[in-house]
Amino acid sequence: MGVIRSYIKTLLKSSRTAEVGASSPLLPYVDRRALVAPNQLLRLGTSYGGWIIPANAGLTADSICYSAGAGEDISFDCALVERFHCQVRVIDPTPRAIQHFTNLEKAVMSGQRCSVNNSTENYYSITAEDFRRIRFVPVGLADKDAELKFYLPKNPAYVSCSTVNLQKTDGYFTAQCFRVSSLMQQLGDSSIDLLKMDIEGAEYAVIRDIVATKLLPRLLLLEFDEAHTPMDSDANTRIKHHVDILGQAGMRCIAVDGCNASFIRAY
């Protein structure tokens, strides 16, 4: 842990505006002085489903990673396991995400290829041995333990569903959701090294919950969905407010990429 803390201090001291997020809509909400240089960052996964982490993330085979919001592209999750051999819990209750994981598992275990996000060019490369370090949890992430409605996207070709009805649609399905603390208890995890959330507007409530319960991970990856699909004219205020909440809790944004932001726990 001392080595990791030392690396984080070095990362923050050497920070400068990163070219990675030069056109990100999140730039107005983060401290640009804390953004680090591209050569200190590592992108894992496809151009669609990939995320940015520190190049020296400090992840090991003992690290626990929660990845909420899978859809039909878990290239990032697979890359985490392939590179660091960490344990990944993929969290998503949507039927298509469940089916995609099932198809991938069958393909990997039988030595067959499986495409990423129905692509004709990108295929998963993970081995059966590595794949066994991924666990799929078919529930939603929320700030309460409850069965919630997941509203469908306007475009039926898309897979992402939203408990806050981000796209203001009528169709929905219901699924069990849990707080991070409840999920950790169920899965037997005492801490989380990395938490990724791509949960279609529900990230605000979970941010407040993990700050209140002091369950912030060392690495936090977030998609701020209102940066591309604002629910109303207060979207900018909500994004800034929750970035500030994280900052006050010791999380520092080191990279932005589109509507995604990568945070490290500074203390």
Q: Do the domain assignments include residue 154?
A: no
Please list the residues that pair with 130 across neighbouring strands. Answer: none
In the chain, the amino acid numbered 190 is: S
Q: Do the domain assignments include residue 125?
A: yes
Pairwise CA distance, residues 79 & 248, whole Å? 31
Q: Do the domain assignments include residue 152?
A: no
Q: Do the domain assignments include residue 151?
A: no
Residue 16: the pLDDT is 43
Boundaries of domain holding 90:
2-142+183-265
What residue ranges of the chain have pLDDT lower than 70? 1-21
Q: How many domains does the chain have?
A: 1
Q: Do the domain assignments include residue 163?
A: no
Residue 267: the pLDDT is 80
Residue 121: the pLDDT is 92
Pairwise CA distance, residues 264 & 267, whole Å? 9
Residue 95: the pLDDT is 96
Q: Do the domain assignments include residue 188?
A: yes
Residue 188: Cβ within 10 Å count: 7
Q: Do the domain assignments include residue 149?
A: no
Residue 9: the pLDDT is 52
Q: Which CATH number belongs to the domain containing residue 12 in this structure?
A: 3.40.50.150
The residue length of the chain stands at: 267
Q: Do the domain assignments include residue 70?
A: yes
In the chain, the amino acid numbered 18 is: A
